[in-house]
Amino acid sequence: MKKISLLGATGSVGLQTLDVIREHPDQFSAVALAFGENIDIALPLIQEFHPKLVAVKNKTVAEQIRPALTKEIRLVYGVEGMIEAAVIPESDILVNAVLGSIGLEPTLAAIEAGKTIGLANKETLVTAGHLVMKKAKEFGVSILPVDSEHSAIFQSMQGQDRSAISRLILTASGGSFRDKKREELEGVTINDALNHPNWSMGAKITVDTATMMNKGLEVIEAHWLFGMPYEKIDIVIHRESIVHSLVEYADHSVIAQLGLPSMLVPIQYALTYPSRLELKLTKQLNLWEIGTLHFQKVDTQRYPSVSLAYHAGKAGGSMPTVLNAANEIAVQAFLSGKIAFLDIERFVETALEHHQVVQMPDLETIEAVDRETRAFVMNKIN
């Protein structure tokens, strides 16, 4: 029985993690659930999964939910609360599916506590990949990817000679606006952006796929997870989302992982690795039903976020922290109707231009750069 602490339990990845746990009650249990403020979604889950600890966003939410919880459940809040959930002694694995760089400290704390990490929260690796990977090595902890592309790469590396990897190829769906020209993006609405052709995901990542910043963040995520230089990480647009990513080896052999688009597979693989389990919730891939698969080179004029991310990744140090923080704030502003879709990448670019890179930043520096960038972008927006 694997005991799981889950951050972001009420979100898209969080709920699907609970679906996997629900399918295998003899294999998995949820010992801690952390969420933000969505009490209506959380309460039935708490009643169903009986966690020992519940962590919420802040004191107000804690006070609202307290009367509905039994006395045996420990209730905590804030980042401190999430950290407590991440290091709860009863857990074996932390599934970090919280949104944004707020997930960094809980990840670091869980590594120090020796927990295996199932990482969906890509912002953690973008913001502070060098700190996370160094700590994981120091404490002998595995960081198992939940992001579907990285899970595909990880699966395509099993049993292979990793020193012979010549290239990682991330697939990208192209997002909600893939059939639009850049000029057609001027007046797009929030609802248009949230209408993803292949995947149902949280709002922030759906917008990130439309700008393709998501793929940019994933390039940085892959750089840290697999220790690959940026020159050896490529992106290919693949509109069907059947090939989830590929690994090329020195002999030009390419190994890929395929499947119908579903986050349940990478979530479950992170929970069962190195074994596999049946997954009734997903459907079989019949290639004859799909017929044709398409692949296309990324046009960085069309998707400037991809270039911004490579630029930030290669500049290194604190630059990816700026990329991520500026993007988080700009996407929030777009989702609340304050800025236009095309402004997102403009604000990110401005923040990157404004920043003086600090090499090998420690946690304090990263947190300071994160705060300053958020304030800088918010100020520009207002």
Interface residue with ligand NDP among 123, 248, 328, 370 (CB under 6 A) is 123
Quick one: what does residue 332 bind among ligand NDP, Mg ion, none, with the CB cut-off 5 to 8 Å set by partner type?
A: none
Interface residue with ligand NDP among 4, 5, 6, 10 (CB under 6 A) is 10
Interatomic CA distance for residues 321 and 366, integer angstroms: 7
Residue 77: CB minimum distance to ligand NDP, A: 9
Smaller CB distance to ligand NDP: residue 58 or 160? 58
Residue 345 and residue 308 in contact, taking contact as beta carbons nearer than 8 Å: yes
Residue 366 and residue 321 in contact, taking contact as beta carbons nearer than 8 Å: yes
Interatomic CA distance for residues 287 and 294, integer angstroms: 13
Smaller CB distance to ligand NDP: residue 54 or 249? 54
38 binding ligand NDP? (CB under 6 A)? yes
Q: Which of 261, 247, 329, 264 is nearest to 17 (CA)?
A: 264
Annotated binding-site residue? 13: yes
Interface residue with ligand NDP among 125, 205, 210, 237 (CB under 6 A) is 205
Interface residue with ligand NDP among 102, 108, 109, 271 (CB under 6 A) is 102
Q: Which of 172, 158, 142, 312 is nearest to 243 (CA)?
A: 172
What is the Cβ-side half-sphere exposure of residue 282, based on CA atoms within 13 angstroms? 20
Residue 149: φ, ψ to 5°: -65, -40
Total chain residues near ligand NDP (CB under 6 A) = 29
Residue 186: CB minimum distance to Mg ion, A: 27
Looking at residues 221 to 240 of the shown chain, list those that interact with ligand NDP (rule: CB under 6 A): none
Interatomic CA distance for residues 7 and 54, integer angstroms: 10
Residue 48: CB minimum distance to ligand NDP, A: 16
Instruction: Give the binding range for ligand NDP (CB under 6 A) out of 11-19, 163-171, 219-227, 324-332.
Output: 11-19
Quick one: what does residue 211 bind among Mg ion, ligand NDP, none, with the CB cut-off 5 to 8 Å set by partner type?
A: none
Smaller CB distance to ligand NDP: residue 207 or 246? 207
Residue 263 and residue 148 in contact, taking contact as beta carbons nearer than 8 Å: yes
Give residue for tokens 């990845």: 13
Annotated binding-site residue? 173: yes
Annotated binding-site residue? 317: no
Instruction: Give the binding range for ligand NDP (CB under 6 A) out of 83-91, 197-205, 276-284, 302-310.
Output: 197-205
121 binding ligand NDP? (CB under 6 A)? yes
What is the Cβ-side half-sphere exposure of residue 237, based on CA atoms within 13 angstroms? 18
Annotated binding-site residue? 96: no
Instruction: Give the binding range for ligand NDP (CB under 6 A) out of 28-36, 169-177, 186-194, 250-258.
Output: 28-36
Residue 213: CB minimum distance to Mg ion, A: 12
Residue 42: CB minimum distance to ligand NDP, A: 6
Binding site for ligand NDP (CB under 6 A): 8-14, 34-38, 57, 82, 97-99, 102, 120-123, 147, 199, 201-202, 204-205, 263
